[in-house]
A and B are shown apart, each in its own frame.
Chain A
């Protein structure tokens, strides 16, 4: 067996026996990511479903002043709740979150309506309350609809066609395929996968330099008749192995977790069969050498385990920045973007999940540039391992 193989196997064995390493490498990705993911998706879809199906609870102050409006609201699926408190309490209760919103019918409503002037209706709401967004929007739409109906009746009474009020009619044509709509949520998955991949190699990358040094095992190791390149490449290979396994486990676990998430209730279909999982793994695994090289290079500048952990936690965020950017902007894949590691993996994985085909040229560019950069980083790590400063 070669020196490389000896170093590789020893690192794998040693780290598999370290509970801390195994927990972070495999537990983090396998349990945390899908759990977090399933939780958010379930909550998101449950809320959307609930908001649509349940009757709209509508707390009203002064309902007796607007009987016609109340009848309209009830006919359109609202449940009127006449509340006993005054307008000032309404503000307090909406602000504290007891009520998502409260409709206030002021004293002047009936009088102004009778005179044909705009009749005031106050809707107390809190735009900072994200939970209330859906129901508040429904209440607003109902009130607007009542306004339009009343206006149309008034125009008809004066012999004018109600079309006068709608000079333009905007129709939104939604072209999202069912799977496409779920991509916003699924986009988060590439974030988790790259993250848990990096965490999988986290402790091994630190151990290569700062860890060995702190334990006092680096110096005797370097005085063995092997080259430093053999040592560090063997160690980086072990780091890569842990990262690849961590990535695969995370993908499989997420696929299983997703099968329990009611995406269909939202009109989404998650495209996550075994073939897709393998394809996503193939696309993303190219990032492994880059991540291993980057973490090893950064760790080699640190003087202690603790310092290395601090810096590597920052490094974990670096590859995630392009992904966040892409998710926010809805970026679509182009050949140029494929030259950016992590962004290219995100775009390709997202397209695979979306069920669209991916361009083989894009895959080639992505894999080549990411692997190339990874090899450069590993080469730099090897150079750094030859410095005397590595001894601390």
Chain B
């Protein structure tokens, strides 16, 4: 469960977030949609406690992102837009490193790791160093690494950027699986089709403000169109005019 209310954040003269509020429920997939520079990454960075908001509050599973950042990080799985694997380590070593930093030890760590490798079908890949991985292999290992501690809430930052079709399909499947198991999934994208294909709820963000949110149907109704792409463009344009 993610709850964001009245978040503000500025970098120098740029107001990156200007009163952002939304919620992402458990067992649902929420898409954070916006152009590049709209404030998606800043929002996710505040949620993963890597950054602090100037004002407003953000909670993950009831833990405050500012005052209880360690608890937040414990219950959170984060997949960045670049895989960020350590190329000199094997896939398994990459996964185990994150497991250890999540406090897993001994047989518990081994079992969690085996389960993840099995589930993603990467047993052959995991014994090789990450240096020579294909795009799909990198993504799978990065996913296994992000989910090793079975987080209740999963954040994915532009996860499909630059991936080929097979990798994107695999990722979607994985995200749906997480939803089935009751996770709260929040992911950001600037691609309308991507969000439409996957999300139960959509939050459209432009110039640091939330310009529309709800189920795809609700958003279509609110913006008076039956085309999601058109809705996105209208909502973003309205924000530009207001600014």
Q: Which residues of A contact B (CB under 8 A)?
A: 1, 3, 6-7, 10, 13-15, 17-18, 215-227, 388, 391
Contact = CB atoms under 8 A, between A and B. Distances in A.
A360 B85 CA distance: 49
A102 B196 CA distance: 93
Nearest to B9: A388
Given A1-B100, A219-B78, A220-B146, 11 more contacts: A10-B93, A14-B88, A14-B89, A215-B82, A216-B83, A217-B85, A220-B80, A222-B50, A388-B50, A388-B51, A391-B50
B84 interface: yes
A17 B112 CA distance: 26
Contacts of A388: 50-52
B28 interface: no
Contacts, number: 76
Nearest to B97: A10
Contacts of B51: 388, 391
B147 to A, nearest CB: 12
B136 to A, nearest CB: 17
B115 interface: no
A332 to B, nearest CB: 47
Nearest to A391: B50
B106 to A, nearest CB: 10
B101 A6 contact: yes
Contacts of B98: 224
B102 interface: yes
Interface of B: 45, 48-52, 70-71, 73-74, 76, 78-89, 93, 97-98, 100-103, 105, 129, 145-146
Contact of B84 (A3, A13, A14, A216): A216
Given A388-B51, A391-B45, A220 B84 contact: yes
B46 to A, nearest CB: 10
Contacts of A15: 88
A222 B76 CA distance: 12
Contact of A219 (B50, B89, B100, B101): B50
A202 to B, nearest CB: 17
Contacts of B71: 225
Contacts of B88: 13-15, 17-18
Contacts of A6: 97, 100-101
